[in-house]
Amino acid sequence: MKYAVLVKNSDESYDILNFINYYDDSATASLLDAALSDLSNPIVAMDASDHKITATRGATWNGTSFSGGIVSKAADATAEELDSFKLYVFLHNNVVIARNAVRTDSPRAEAFEAAFASEVKLVKVPDDQYVAIGETHGWDGSRFI
């Protein structure tokens, strides 16, 4: 399954910032699909760079910190390795359902920082649609228009 990270650029259009793919992880894809269909509890985007070790998939956010979730590979990382990337997460009911790490020396680092300071949305890319990073599209709730 392929999911797009969108950043709002006007009332009617979004720029495609990145993709998150779960082709070989049907459990995570099912979790994301359920969260995306739950209109009563929106998905919230968050810069979790201060919580790289604890903001793992399945972890719960209590307003100041994360707990639970899967064990992070970052737990064994050096300070230099941890400082080499920023971590952005998507929460549903305060639980991390998706993560996106961006290297701080990447040309895209500034775009992610600006996007997560504004309005970001996670959507499932329909199987019959092809879109690319950097393109601008409308989103009708289920399809790119």
Give the pLDDT confidence of 121-139 residue by residue, as tens digits: 999 999 999 999 999 999 9
| Confidence band of 4 (pLDDT split at 50, 70, 90) | very high
Give 52's contacts (C-beta < 8 A, 6+ positions apart). 72, 74, 77, 82, 85, 87
DSSP 11: S
pLDDT(28) > 80: no
Is 52 part of any domain?
yes
Is 135 part of any domain?
no
Is 133 part of any domain?
no
* Over residues 16-21, mean pLDDT: 90
Structure tokens, 25: 């992880």
3-state secondary structure 39-108: CCCCCEEEECHHHCCCCCCCEEECCCCEEECCCCHHHHCCHHHHHCEEEEEEEECCEEEEEEEEECCCCC
Is 138 part of any domain?
no
Q: Looking at this protein, which amino acid is placed at residue 23?
A: Y
* 119: Cα separation from own chain's centroid: 12
Check residue 42 and give its pLDDT: 86
**Nearest by Cα to 53 from 84, 87, 80:** 87
pLDDT in tens, 61-116: 999 999 998 887 777 888 898 999 999 999 999 999 999 999 999 988 999 999 98
Is 64 part of any domain?
yes
Structure tokens, 131: 């879109």
* Domain interval for residue 110: 2-123
Is 137 part of any domain?
no
Is 129 part of any domain?
no
**Nearest by Cα to 14 from 143, 103, 136, 126:** 136
* Dist. CA 122–CA 3, nearest whole Å: 7
Total count of domains within the chain:
1
| Confidence band of 27 (pLDDT split at 50, 70, 90) | confident
Is 130 part of any domain?
no
User: Which ranges in 21-67 belong to alpha helices (H)?
Assistant: 26-37
